[in-house]
Amino acid sequence: MLKNKNVVITGGAGFIGSNLTEILLENNNFCILIDNFNNYYSGKEKRIDEILTSYEENKDFILIRGDLVNYSILEELIDNIDIIFHLAAQAGVRYSIENAAEVTTNNIASTVNILEYAKNVRVEKLIFASSSSVYGNPIYTPVDEEHPKNPISPYAVSKLCCEQYADYYFREYNLPITSLRFYTVYGPRGRPDMAIRKFFNLILNDGVITIYGDGKQLRDFTYISNIVEGLILAAEHHNVNGEMLNLGCSNPVSVNELIVKMYEIAQKPKNVKYVEKKKGDVEVTYSDITKAKKMIGYIPRIDIDEGLQKTFDWQKKLSDK
Ligand SMILES: NC(=O)c1ccc[n+]([C@@H]2O[C@H](COP(=O)([O-])OP(=O)(O)OC[C@H]3O[C@@H](n4cnc5c(N)ncnc54)[C@H](O)[C@@H]3O)[C@@H](O)[C@H]2O)c1
């Protein structure tokens, strides 16, 4: 576990960034969050307030509001940064299809600025949040890191491009960087545009769940604490400098199976409608996590049943407030 480090978390007000920050603060790390609080969805201020209030006098915590597309934001940072978790990005596959240029500029320019900064100040480790979407529709499963990359959305192309920049900085400047390909992350503080949060919200409010396609599409849903553990393990291991690693559960379930589990947990009758599949959605995500297991000791401890129960408990509390 990382302790007593100076850590930058870009996208710190986001879903994964806020959960990572909480664990890093619990372990006496000094955390500097950078986020532009973009308006893709609401609730980011609340996440930050939650974290701030649990840390007296905010002494281990700095929040910088700003856009990483401008390098100048990084000039505000203190010296002696040990580790950077670069999680800031415009997420959302479907959003990227409608806003291709914006997503491309945002994700690639902000990543190149972080890489330049890390090169200039020589950090101990830089972690880049990539995505399983770089693979596109798998030609075999489970998908290992060598699988061909056939991205089918501007978001996925932007992530693949950032990985290539990361690889370039590793080769040219020996920058200690690892790219992690996350598989559909869910859990407390989850993004409201993502399926599990959206579905529980509809279930709790007796709404109708809309499924795009026939519901047979498989997703390797990965609980947030598995991802946070994977991020920290990757930061601690120098044998993965210059590597790309899958972080998933390696246990895909279909959207139809997911829905059944969710209604069972909520103890409500099923209420679902099916509409046409959306562009950019892949048929299957199914990670091979052998490399991450072997190289950093990654084990996804929380399975889908436990993860869904924990997510439901959090969301129920939220809706009861
Ligand atoms: N959630 C998932 O299932 C998933 C899967 C694969 C990859 N990822 C990647 O993991 C990272 C975190 O995802 P998340 O689900 O927490 O998303 P999120 O949208 O909740 O968090 C991203 C944060 O980055 C900030 N941001 C975006 N552009 C910025 C910029 N130019 N400058 C400063 N801040 C900026 C946003 O305001 C947001 O708070 C992202 O890079 C995402 O692409 C997420």
The protein residue whose alpha carbon is closest to atom 20 in ligand 1 is 14
The answer to whether 213 and 281 are in contact (CB under 8 A) is yes
Distance 179 CA to ligand 1 centre (A): 14
The answer to whether 196 and 221 are in contact (CB under 8 A) is yes
For residue 271, give the DSSP letter: -
Distance 15 CA to ligand 1 centre (A): 7
* 130: Cα separation from own chain's centroid: 8
Q: Is 82 helix (H, G, I), strand (E, B) or coil?
A: coil
Q: How confident is the model at residue 266 (pLDDT cuts 50, 70, 90)?
A: very high
Domain positions in the chain are 6-186+223-250+287-301
Q: Is the pTM of this model over 0.95?
A: yes
* 32-62 tens-digit pLDDT: 999 999 999 999 999 998 887 776 555 688 9
* 179-208 tens-digit pLDDT: 999 999 999 999 999 999 999 999 999 999
d(CA 210, CA 205): 14
155 a catalytic residue: yes
Fold of the 6-186+223-250+287-301 domain: Rossmann fold (3.40.50)
Catalytic residue (one of 155, 165, 169, 286): 155
Distance 17 CA to ligand 1 centre (A): 8
Mutate to test the pocket of ligand 1, among 182, 198, 227, 285 (most ligand atoms within 8 A of CB): 182
